[in-house]
């Protein structure tokens, strides 16, 4: 059955591929991004040529989010079946060398952006008593790599945010799933944000050289015959949407997991026991009509 779907961050990478793949699967897709009529005009036009509708949406701006959803609901008569929170940015380097302003900007996209967009979508999903929210997290929300800890911290926050919404929305018939990709050769990694205060690296000696070495490792992986295929993420999301409500997994790891799958498996019973012990076990089961 065709669904009405909104996706954030579709100018490139996972978001662009997800939009194209879902449209090809027969869904009505609204692809959102910043600067639709500016620097992302070409990306928007290519999506339009594939029958995908595009909307201006900056996840860091309340007015932009509100305007995008107003336009969406005017076009769909208030309907939204699936929200995919994909927009994100990554940063790599010594934590101390990132300024507070850089850290704040990353969290504004990766964490507060999900909260803004989800709040805009939920009133209409509440009316329908159904819906699916897919948040794109990361394996680094479960395991920590040196020099990617600030990015990982934002994805740890997405873990908690997603889990909380899953419980809180379960009795409204609204499903919430977290997708946890490993590293892929997309712009997220190839255009990774660098620290602005490099002078602070002087105290670290040889350790300061390690972020560059890890980037070389990723570059070798991405250029090898074993390079992970970013299309895996879009295929996973197609499968999640096709699954009946109540049968979807809470989390879906895609690609190299670096131990995140084992972490998920170990934490799940602890989390389940906590919720049961406080008498809220009913929130672990999605209420379906």
Distance, CA of 102 to CA of 274 (rounded, Å): 35
CATH number at 4-284: 3.40.50.720
Q: pLDDT tens digit string along 30-56?
A: 999 999 999 999 999 999 999 999 999
Q: Which of 105-119, 149-163, 183-197 has the lowest mean pLDDT?
A: 183-197
Give kind and range of the element (H or E) at residue 106. Answer: helix 100-107
Q: Are 239 and 21 in contact (CB under 8 A)?
A: no
Q: Which of 51-65, 122-136, 217-231 has the lowest mean pLDDT?
A: 217-231
How far out from the chain centre does Cα 4 lie? 18
Q: Are 113 and 60 in contact (CB under 8 A)?
A: yes
- The pLDDT of residue 190 is 65
**Neighbouring C-beta atoms of residue 170, cutoff 10 Å:** 20
Which band of pLDDT confidence, cut at 50, 70 and 90, is reported for residue 223? confident
For residue 212, give Cα distances in angstroms to 159, 163, 175, 204: 28, 34, 40, 14
Look up residue 250 and give its two tokens: 């809470």
228 vs 268, higher pLDDT:
268
- The pLDDT of residue 32 is 98
pTM for the model stands at: 0.96
- The pLDDT of residue 30 is 98
Percent pLDDT > 90 in the chain is 89
Which band of pLDDT confidence, cut at 50, 70 and 90, is reported for residue 186? confident
- The pLDDT of residue 85 is 98
Residue 82 bridge partners (DSSP): 5, 132
Residue 193 bridge partners (DSSP): 91
Q: Where are the domains of the chain?
A: 4-284
Angle of CA points 87, 88, 92, to nearest 5°: 165
Distance, CA of 250 to CA of 261 (rounded, Å): 12
Which band of pLDDT confidence, cut at 50, 70 and 90, is reported for residue 176? very high
Residue corresponding to tokens 């015959």: 225
Instruction: From the candidates 151, 165, 167, 189, give the one annotated as an active-site residue.
Output: 151
Active site residue 184: no
Q: Are 26 and 50 in contact (CB under 8 A)?
A: no
Instruction: Provide mean pLDDT across the span 129-150.
Output: 97
């Amino acid at each position: 059955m065709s669904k009405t779907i909104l996706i954030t961050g579709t100018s490139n990478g996972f978001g662009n591929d997800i939009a194209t793949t879902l449209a090809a699967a027969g869904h009505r897709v609204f692809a959102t991004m910043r600067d639709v009529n500016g620097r992302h005009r070409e990306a928007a036009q290519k999506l339009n040529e594939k029958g995908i509708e595009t909307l201006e949406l900056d996840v860091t701006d309340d007015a932009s989010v509100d305007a995008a959803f107003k336009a969406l609901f005017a076009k769909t008569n208030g309907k939204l079946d699936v929200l995919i929170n994909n927009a994100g940015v990554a940063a790599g380097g010594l934590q101390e060398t990132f300024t507070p302003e850089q850290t704040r900007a990353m969290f504004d996209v990766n964490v507060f952006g999900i909260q803004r967009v989800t709040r805009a979508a939920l009133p209409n999903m509440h009316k329908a008593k159904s819906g699916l929210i897919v948040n794109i997290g990361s394996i680094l929300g479960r395991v920590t790599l040196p020099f990617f800890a600030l990015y990982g911290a934002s994805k740890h926050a997405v873990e908690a945010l997603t889990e909380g919404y899953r419980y809180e929305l379960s009795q409204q018939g609204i499903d919430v799933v977290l997708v946890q990709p490993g590293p892929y050769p997309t712009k997220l990694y190839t255009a990774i944000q660098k620290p602005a205060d490099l002078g602070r690296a002087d105290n670290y000696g040889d350790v300061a050289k390690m972020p560059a070495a890890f980037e070389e490792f990723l570059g070798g992986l991405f250029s090898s015959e074993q390079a992970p295929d970013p299309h895996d993420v879009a295929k996973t999301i197609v499968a999640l949407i096709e699954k009946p409500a109540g049968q979807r997994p809470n989390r879906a790891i895609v690609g190299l997991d670096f131990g995140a799958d084992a972490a998920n498996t170990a934490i799940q019973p602890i989390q389940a026991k906590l919720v049961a012990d406080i008498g809220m076990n009913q929130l672990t089961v999605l209420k379906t009509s």
